[in-house]
Amino acid sequence: MDWHQLWEITTLPDNIPIVAMLFMIPFFAWLGLRQARANDRLIAELETDPKLAKTHHRKTWPWRPHWARELHVWPYLLRIEFLATVIVTAILFIWSITLNAPLEEPANPNLTMNPSKAPWYFLGLQEMLVYFDPWIAGVVMPSLMIVGLMAFPYVDSNPLGVGYYTWKQRKVAIGAFLFGFISWIILIIIGTFMRGPGWIWFWPGQTWDHNTVIYEVNRDLPDIFGITTQPWKGVFGAIVVAIFFAIFGYITHKLVTWDKFEKKLFQRHSLLQYLVFQFFAITILWALPAKLLARQLFRIKYVMVTPWFNI
């Protein structure tokens, strides 16, 4: 194990944010869900006790009758926000004193550095290039994500769970988000820690040797099945993709209609809303990890090969 190098990577000023995220994302996820759980319990109770629900405004569990019924923004909210400000300021100070801008030598057009990595927040994208062809990974996927994020509010037909932490009332939304977000972060982490010279996969602590030689053949799915000529490659790929959509469409459907509450919500959906949701769920949330695994586990390069683009 090459701890020295691992240490060098983690302490690289460039990587501080992503390292911090390693700790902070789980922490805040836990924080939020914890609150959500509390609320959910309360909601459950209030539903059984309308009287209480009328008189009561604070969504905190366990509630005690002699507690104030209402709390004002000042001081109760602002003081927390103020504390947060102080903390953030302090952190920014420390950060800016201790870590200088990660400047490197002047760029040399005759010599691209190896590995040449994007800034940490783009490493996810860069990593995606491994799994899709540039057109898909660089243009289609990102824009789909953005559009998808924009679309979500409109596909949301859920009247509840607004303005407070809750899990019960927003399983799908929260689940989908966390799934997407975390897989994104994972991509970044892979790009940061596991991609060495030649964008070869190194496990953390494995020495990044510039002269590493590895044997690795990635084949297109059609080739595996002995389909080597166009247009059949494309056709075959298209079929596979269609099947993929069908399967995961079904799975998604099962998930979004898991229990009664979800079913209710499903009822409230218009067809358009539902389809939009399905589309993005499959193309982004499912396809990305699926392709990742296909590549890493089965060394499959592309599923669908056409003269214009590959998937």
| Interface residues toward another protein, by CB under 8 A | 4, 11, 16, 20, 23, 27, 45, 48-49, 51-52, 60, 64-68, 71, 76, 79-80, 82-83, 86-87, 89-91, 93-99, 103-106, 108, 110-111, 113-114, 207, 209-211
Closest C-alpha among 255, 311, 258 to residue 281: 255
Q: What is the closest distance, in whole angstroms, from the C-beta atom of residue 60 to another protein in the complex?
A: 6
Residue 56 or 171: the one with the smaller Cβ distance to another protein is 56
Q: What is the DSSP string of 49-68?
A: -HHHHHH-----SS--TTS-
- Show the tokens assigned to 128: 């995606």
Q: Which residues contact 303 (CB under 8 A, 6 or more apart)?
A: 220, 221, 237, 240, 241, 244, 291, 294, 311
Q: What is the closest distance, in whole angstroms, from the C-beta atom of residue 106 to another protein in the complex?
A: 8
Q: What is the DSSP string of 77-126?
A: IHHHHHHHHHHHHHHHHHHHHH------SPPBTTB--SS----GGGHHHH
Q: What is the closest distance, in whole angstroms, from the C-beta atom of residue 105 to another protein in the complex?
A: 5
Residue 210 or 260: the one with the smaller Cβ distance to another protein is 210
Closest C-alpha among 112, 118, 86 to residue 18: 118
Phi and psi at residue 59, to the nearest 5°: -95, 70
Q: What is the closest distance, in whole angstroms, from the C-beta atom of residue 203 to another protein in the complex?
A: 17
Q: What is the closest distance, in whole angstroms, from the C-beta atom of residue 199 to another protein in the complex?
A: 16
Work out whether the CA dihedral 51, 52, 53, 55 comes out positive or negative: positive
Q: What is the closest distance, in whole angstroms, from the C-beta atom of residue 251 to another protein in the complex?
A: 37
Residue 96 or 270: the one with the smaller Cβ distance to another protein is 96
- Show the tokens assigned to 187: 């991509």
CB 276 within 8 A of CB 155: yes
Q: What is the closest distance, in whole angstroms, from the C-beta atom of residue 46 to another protein in the complex?
A: 8
Residue 11 or 230: the one with the smaller Cβ distance to another protein is 11
CB 182 within 8 A of CB 300: no
Residue 4 or 254: the one with the smaller Cβ distance to another protein is 4
Q: Helix (H, G, I), strand (E, B), or coil: what is residue 196?
A: coil
